Structure 1
Amino acid sequence: MLTLWCPSAASMESAKHAPVSPVLPSYEQEQHLHAFHACEQRHEAMARLLVVVWDEPGRCDLRAMTHVVTAHLRRHDTYHSWFEERGGAIVRHVLTDPTVIQMEPRTLGEVRAEDWQRHVMATPHPFAWDCFRFGILQHDRGFTCFASIDHLHADATVIAFLMAEIRSAYRAVLDGEGPLQLGPPGSYLDYCASQRQRAAAMTLADPEVKRWIAFLHRNGGRMPSFALPLGVLEDRYHAEYVHLDILDDAVMDAFESACHAAGARAIGGLLACAALTERGLAGRSRYSVVTPTTTRRSPKAFRTTGWCVGVVPIDFDVQQRAFPELALTAQRNFDERLSLAEVPIELVLELAAGLPTVGSVATGGVMLSFMDVNVPPLSAHIAREWHQANGRVYINQGIAAQVAIWLFRTPRGLSLTAAYPANETARASMHRYVKAFAGACRQAAEALMPTYSDAGREQ
């Protein structure tokens, strides 16, 4: 039995009349909206939805869940905005009174899996205020909760927290405990205003901008390229995805120990393994990639739904160096350049317009992302809840503009999800890459786990 929560007609009417705000969209939001508009003009689907799914026991109390979902949307001010394009510029409208937001349940009856997917994919586009949907699938063993939110309002850092907030608030309402005291979230509007204020003061003379431009120059004026053939020449392509577990928990523990022995953390070790993979498969003597990281810097910020992500430019010589030296080099590279994540690449390209050594767009390239759900801000407690609730995340298929590799450290070990062009050449390349990357990680782990058996190698 499928039930969806959508804004009431009165809420939609209030949003339609929301006044224009002087707060510009964040650079992340602006790039996303322009990209969606470009897809729309080409009649292409865009990979834009974050779909968070988890399981709950029993029969869902629809009145309680209505209260919880409504409170969630009122609590986080990113949902109070909607955007329109005027003469090429993005204009923000903001609901000044969040109490006008009221969600209403709509029960659609029994559905098949493809029907549920169709309803999720029908989540309104990012220029619509209500580009979010919440729902449940009731079945005999309990019910499955889901939230489909346009990337405009969420990033990977808040996925597990979103689940924890909604399920904790729902249980508090059922138990008669009154409103759950989660601690006040930060303001995403304040984040956007602060980001734009810093950006307005930056020039080509700023050290961070110079370092970004030097990085782009070393990559031929654009973002780094993937090491293997992808079967496409353009930056935009229809993407497909692969997901697999590459290290179990015990082997991942050994891998992290190998990183620590080298003076690095897991991110440094994983970057080293990616560098070794490219050297082995393509003979590259220099590794180059961008890796995203949260730009949240306070407990309030980590309770804030919104898109707060920057990218760190990574590049270093590989030559014939072994894992320990490369892990330390990669870690130092990451740590020394972490502040560059506060400088949006779109801003760098604005400032560098006209420079012959820098291209005009930030699309294309390759990204490697790592998230450890066992440490703050997610914490082992939320990670355990996520695991127990069978939490999972989906991204709708569509046009993408880069090869993306996401690595997740969970209580089960290390998993990998990759997006790449949907063609045979790219599929074969990604298969080779993933196999070699997993092998490099296992080899690093074996250095501190000599009893690791051949049987354990099979993933």
Structure 2
Amino acid sequence: MLIATLSECRVEPGLLREWRLDEAPFDEAARRTGGAVPPSYNQEWHLRTVSRLAGRGQDVPPWIGFGFELPGPLDAGAFRETLRTWVVRHETLRSAFRVTDAGVERFTVAPAGVSVRDTVVAELSAGDDIPGRLQARIDAAAGAFRRPSHVVETVERADSTSVFVAMDHAHADGYSVMAAVAEWQQLYAAARAGGRPSALQPVGSYGDFGLAERAEAQRTGAGDPAVGRWRRFLAAGGDRVFRFPLDPGPTDGELLPHGKLDVQLLDAPGAEAVEEVCHDACGGFFAGLLAAAAIVSHRFTGEPVYRTVVPVHTRSRPELLRSMGWYIGLAPVEIGLGAADGFRELVPVAHRSLRTALRTGRVPIVRIAELLGLAEDWERRMPDVFPFVSFIDTRVIPGARQWPEWNARVLVRSRTRGSKVNIWVHRGHEGLRLTARHPETETAEASVAGFADGLRDVLHGVARTGDHIFASRPSTTGGTP
């Protein structure tokens, strides 16, 4: 599934209609004095960041979403029921936030209070800026403190309907929006047939997860292994851990408009060949990807240790696998190249570091910052503290085979701002694809393109020959490659 901005989406003209939940139940719930709970750690940090950036004049809604197509004319009644049922299923979508003297609180509307209203906006023609119209409406509706902070836009035609669902990042991560496409297809088909889709199992509550995560994190002390790993990572890497290995252009904290790069790294047979090499080397595919990134980083920088941060999922129970929410932790990865002659020998090194990272990421990064006394410094670096490399094998997500048929896309806002380079790598049925977000400067564009080209070269070589041998063994002290 492609990660796309609305400006990259081809949308045929049609009737633009907006679908939202009735705000009255949210307003009523906000006035109640009881029942409110703290937001999750991710939500808390996100909301503080949104508020601080708005105070600096950077009022850019950080929403995330998904788009897809429905065949034939839209059944408005079935679509309304689809949205209602989806929100009832996922508790976070019935939640909103309020600011009190004690801080930010989360409150929730009961399932019985969920009702949907729709508004016909305009008949769009071929001459209209359709992506711009869609983004303007989503920006206005999907703010962090809106109630609710999600919206659905449809562009309806006689033979098809384009659907765009967007929500503030507080309520979803990348996996959530990918999994939601098939769920919407199932719910809509069932609503049109007058029944309920039997294949959809109950899902867990992100709100309950956030409370349990917070309680567990408060029991974590400064002597916890995860805190020690972060402390050593930061001490060894210094300021370099806050910057992309190649020159990203702006100084840390300078918020520039983002640019975007999309490249195909491998086709499906190539990805299978690399996976086989990784397994033979006693590692997984993600470990192989990080090993290749370490090789490329060393090629450009001469550094003998590759350090980066990786997102790790925190969906620790089966009922959370299909739950909407921000189930993501962050963890440090360190890959030393000094004892390896090539890719095959580096894979198990990366694999061990990644296994450690998966355990480390269970402790929320906010709690890590608190225990290290770095909360104020890290908040100053937001919206992204670290550049990261994210990997998802999308083949395991329900409905992935049908994404091309549905024209499914992950949606992100265009013209966000930041100072970091973030990389998402998705392995799908069609192969391996990289999407990077970077500051929109010539320096950053060249650096990210060079890194992606190097990554593709290494992986292609591994797929073709079964290994990638270093031109010279990396030293243990750095220097030129």
Asked if Structure 1 and Structure 2 have the same fold, meaning a TM-score greater than 0.5 normalized by the shorter chain, the answer is: yes
Matches within 5 A, 1:149-228: 149-178=167-196, 180=198, 182-220=200-238, 223-228=241-246
Matches within 5 A, 1:43-442: 43-46=57-60, 48-86=62-100, 89-95=103-109, 97-111=110-124, 112=128, 113=130, 114-178=132-196, 180=198, 182-220=200-238, 223-237=241-255, 238-319=257-338, 321-353=341-373, 363=382, 364-375=385-396, 378=397, 381-396=398-413, 397-442=415-460
| Alignment partner, residue 11 of structure 2 | none
| Alignment partner, residue 455 of structure 1 | none
The one-letter code matched in structure 1 to 2:386 is: G
- Residue among 1, 7, 10 paired with 2:24: 10
Aligned sequence identity (%): 28
Query: Residue 247 of structure 2 contacts residue 443 of structure 2 at CA under 8 Å; is this kept in 1?
Result: yes
Query: Residue 268 of structure 1 contacts residue 330 of structure 1 at CA under 8 Å; is this kept in 2?
Result: yes
Query: Residue 204 of structure 1 contacts residue 351 of structure 1 at CA under 8 Å; is this kept in 2?
Result: yes
Per-residue CA deviations over 1:156-206 (Å, capped at 9, x if unaligned) read 111222111111011011123346551111011210111110111111122
| Alignment partner, residue 454 of structure 1 | none
Q: CA deviation at 1:354?
A: 7.4
Q: CA deviation at 1:422?
A: 1.3
Partners of 1:449 and 1:216 in 2: CA distance: 31
More divergent stretch after superposition (218-227 vs 119-128): 218-227
Partners of 2:157 and 2:467 in 1: CA distance: 44
Query: Residue 244 of structure 1 contacts residue 415 of structure 1 at CA under 8 Å; is this kept in 2?
Result: yes
TM-score in terms of structure 2 length: 0.87
Q: CA deviation at 1:115?
A: 1.6
The one-letter code matched in structure 2 to 1:259 is: C
Query: Residue 272 of structure 1 contacts residue 330 of structure 1 at CA under 8 Å; is this kept in 2?
Result: yes
Partners of 2:135 and 2:239 in 1: CA distance: 40
Per-residue CA deviations over 1:127-180 (Å, capped at 9, x if unaligned) read 122110112211354111221111100011112221111110110111233465
Q: Secondary structure at the match of 2:318?
A: coil
The one-letter code matched in structure 2 to 1:384 is: R
| Structure 2: gaps (5+ residues) | 1-14, 469-481
Q: 1:2 to 1:57 in 2, by over 3 A?
A: same
The one-letter code matched in structure 2 to 1:50 is: I
TM-score in terms of structure 1 length: 0.91
Partners of 1:180 and 1:383 in 2: CA distance: 19
Partners of 2:171 and 2:374 in 1: CA distance: 32
Q: Secondary structure at the match of 1:349?
A: helix
Q: CA deviation at 1:84?
A: 2.7
The alignment yields a C-alpha RMSD, in angstroms, of: 2.3
Q: Secondary structure at the match of 2:141?
A: coil
Tell me how many residue pairs correspond in the alignment.
443
Q: CA deviation at 1:388?
A: 2.3
Q: 1:386 to 1:348 in 2, by over 3 A?
A: same
Q: 1:128 to 1:236 in 2, by over 3 A?
A: farther
Q: CA deviation at 1:11?
A: 3.3
| Structure 1: gaps (5+ residues) | 451-459
Q: 1:20 to 1:407 in 2, by over 3 A?
A: farther
Q: 1:35 to 1:401 in 2, by over 3 A?
A: farther
Partners of 1:82 and 1:308 in 2: CA distance: 17
Q: CA deviation at 1:17?
A: 2.6
Q: CA deviation at 1:383?
A: 0.9
